[in-house]
Amino acid sequence: MFAAFKIVKQLHEMLWYLAEACERAYAPEAVHEARELESAIAALTHGSLAELFSVDIGALHGAVRTVLMEVSEEVRASYFAEAGHLDPSFTPAADLAGADLRARRLCGADLRGACLIAADLRESDLAAVDLLGADLRDARLEGADLSAALYVTQPQINAARGDGKTRLPASVSAPSHWFDH
């Protein structure tokens, strides 16, 4: 049962990200690829245990990753991310722990997998910033605009600090501890 739960949890996470990719993609081909993967993954979640245990989860992750990265590049490019206007330290898996990024325009940055533990992002614009897997524990998000950020999850937001002025994507909500002051 626990082995099945682990696989199904991963499948649902992939479905979460693919749903956003479908909403955010500009290219019809990317939407088509994302929808096909969504359909295949959804079928697995309703299949038998034998089907579930026979799935090559690594290959599935790879296919989903490809689609998510394509959509990320497309969306970030619409914010001129490729034009070289971004700080060169804003890279995937960057170590920005404790960094002072207050009131910065980070639009279009690829911070996938970045360590943003205790980073100060107050009043920052994070439109089209790819935050897939970024560690936002104790990050200061007061007044930040994440409403158009890519791949933000509820656990990331729950681990961060924010307030009533923090703008979030529609798919996540402000945790109650943001208002316990």
Name the phi and psi angles at 167, rounded to 5: -95, 125
Over residues 6-45, the pLDDT tens digits come to: 999 999 999 999 999 999 999 999 999 999 999 999 999 9
pLDDT reading at 84 higher than 80: no
Domain ranges in the chain are 2-78, 83-181
Specify whether the backbone of 94 is left (phi greater than 0), alpha (psi in -120 to 50) or beta: beta
The model's pTM? 0.89
Residues 97-128: tens digit of each pLDDT? 999 999 888 999 999 999 999 999 999 999 99
Q: Which CATH number fits domain 83-181: 1.10.10.10, 2.160.20.80, 3.30.565.10, 3.40.50.620?
A: 2.160.20.80
pLDDT digits (tens, 9 = 90+) for 148-169: 999 999 999 999 999 999 999 9
Mean pLDDT of the chain: 93
- Helices 2-24 and 57-77: crossing angle in degrees, nearest 10, is 20
What one-character DSSP code corresponds to residue 151?
S
Q: Residue 39 — φ and ψ, nearest 5°?
A: -65, -45
* Cα distance between residue 167 and residue 147, in whole Å: 5
* Helix H or strand E segment including 66: helix 57-77
